């Protein structure tokens, strides 16, 4: 009887998680067991308000261990992370990221790096010229490695009750970030991550995503799904979400997203990223 109640609770929780994640698409899979790890991932939300409670070194060590447990191409481990707790340094990084106050407020800010420096140093010590590091493929590998590692850390953090939010604004001015963090050549900040215990009055909701039919293709890419009923339904879902939470966005998701890529203005200087990467030691052949 207890096992049956547990299954019912799991089924109800899964249904609730799917309803929050998809809005109108509310039916979750019925023949799978909801694990704690999956529940944590489905309940993800971005947290931008934190209490003053510190994130301990023990917790940081656990988050990095989770990050290092992520897959890494050829075991090259082409990433590093800088833990920033100093208030003035976080203030500078906040300014670089267009003044996002949560960077200055959070007790721990993690800056994730694509790192070719370590491997270049290893090669040089062996009298090897690291020619392959000058190619785009190796840069992509480092960025992917950093993203996989960071997401592992996010899941670990949220499983502990911590809140997080990614900060792409580190790419607004990678050279200044490098100066602020004392980065060597062949390293670049890919993104930042605020980490902290959510404030009691923090407002952070699970944001609906596109229906699975819009992103899941079977065997062949179905282009019709890029402009079908699923996209229109998501527009309605997001309008409802914004209305419920008092967020002004009358355009809808499609108009907002199309506008975001209409000009380079929304890139906040990141249209120069290619030349900046070269200046930081990523040759990009």
Do 108 and 188 lie in one domain? The reply is yes
Same domain, 117 and 65: yes
The number of distinct structural domains making up the chain is: 2
Residue 253 lies in a domain: no
- Checking 245-249 for CB contacts under 8 A at 24+ apart, the result is 245/203, 245/205
**What pLDDT was estimated at residue 6?**
43
Q: What is the pLDDT, as a whole number, of residue 201?
A: 84
Q: Which residues pair with 191 in a beta bridge?
A: 112
Residues 20 and 118 in one domain: no
262 occurs within a structural domain = no
Examine the domain organization and report whether 225 and 139 are in the same domain. Answer: no
Q: Is residue 264 part of a domain?
A: no
Q: Are residues 13 and 78 in the same domain?
A: no
For 57-66, the CB contacts below 8 A with 24+ separation are 59/160, 59/162, 60/108, 62/156, 62/160, 63/110, 63/153, 63/156, 63/157, 63/195, 64/153, 66/152, 66/153, 66/155, 66/156
> pLDDT tens digits for the chain (285 residues)?
333 334 445 678 888 899 999 985 566 787 788 999 999 999 999 999 999 999 999 999 999 999 999 999 999 999 999 999 999 999 999 999 999 999 999 999 999 999 999 999 999 999 999 999 999 999 999 999 999 999 999 999 999 999 999 999 999 999 999 999 999 999 999 999 999 999 998 778 899 999 998 999 999 999 988 887 889 889 988 988 888 877 766 678 898 899 889 999 889 889 999 999 999 999 778
Task: Give pLDDT, residue 250.
Answer: 65
Q: Are residues 130 and 33 in the same domain?
A: no
105 lies in the same domain as 146: yes
Alpha-carbon torsion (152, 155, 160, 164), positive or negative:
positive
For residue 123, give the CATH number of its domain. Answer: 3.40.109.10
With respect to residue 189, please indicate whether it lies within any of the assigned structural domains.
yes
251 occurs within a structural domain = no
Q: Same domain, yes or no, for 172 and 188?
A: yes
| Residues 97 and 115 grouped into a single domain | yes
pLDDT score at 203? 77
With respect to residue 257, please indicate whether it lies within any of the assigned structural domains. Answer: no
pLDDT at 252 (0 to 100):
80
Residue 1 is predicted with a pLDDT of 32
Do both 132 and 237 map to the same domain? no
**Pair 62, 161 in one domain:** yes
Q: Are residues 62 and 195 in the same domain?
A: yes
Range of the domain at 130: 57-202+270-279
- Strands of the 163-167 sheet, one edge to the other: 79-84, 108-115, 187-196, 163-167
User: Is position 259 within any domain?
Assistant: no
260 part of a folded domain = no
């Amino acid at each position: 009887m207890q096992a049956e109640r547990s299954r019912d609770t799991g089924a109800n929780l899964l249904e609730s998680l799917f309803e929050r994640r998809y809005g109108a698409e509310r039916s979750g899979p019925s023949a799978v067991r909801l694990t704690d790890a999956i529940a944590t991932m489905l309940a993800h939300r971005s947290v931008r308000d934190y209490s003053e409670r510190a994130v301990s070194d023990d917790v940081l060590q656990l988050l990095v261990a989770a990050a290092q447990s992520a897959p890494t191409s050829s075991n090259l481990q082409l990433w590093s992370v800088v833990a920033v707790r100093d208030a003035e340094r976080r203030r500078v990084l906040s300014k670089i990221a267009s003044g996002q106050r949560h960077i200055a407020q959070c007790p721990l800010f993690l800056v994730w790096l694509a790192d070719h420096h370590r491997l270049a140093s290893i090669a040089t010590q062996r009298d090897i010229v690291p020619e392959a590091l000058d190619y785009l493929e190796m840069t992509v590998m480092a960025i992917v490695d950093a993203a996989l590692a960071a997401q592992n850390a996010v899941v670990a953090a949220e499983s502990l009750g911590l809140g997080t939010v990614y900060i792409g604004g580190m790419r607004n001015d990678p050279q200044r970030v490098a100066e602020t963090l004392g980065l060597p050549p062949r390293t670049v900040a890919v993104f930042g991550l605020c980490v902290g215990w959510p404030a009691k009055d923090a407002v952070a909701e699970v944001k609906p995503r596109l229906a699975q039919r819009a992103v899941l293709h079977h065997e062949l890419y179905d282009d019709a799904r890029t402009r079908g009923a699923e996209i229109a339904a998501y527009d309605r879902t997001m309008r409802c979400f914004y209305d419920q939470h008092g967020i002004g966005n009358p355009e809808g998701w499609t108009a907002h997203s199309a506008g975001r890529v209409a000009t380079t203005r929304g890139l906040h200087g990141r249209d120069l990223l290619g030349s900046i990467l070269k200046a930081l030691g990523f040759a990009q052949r």
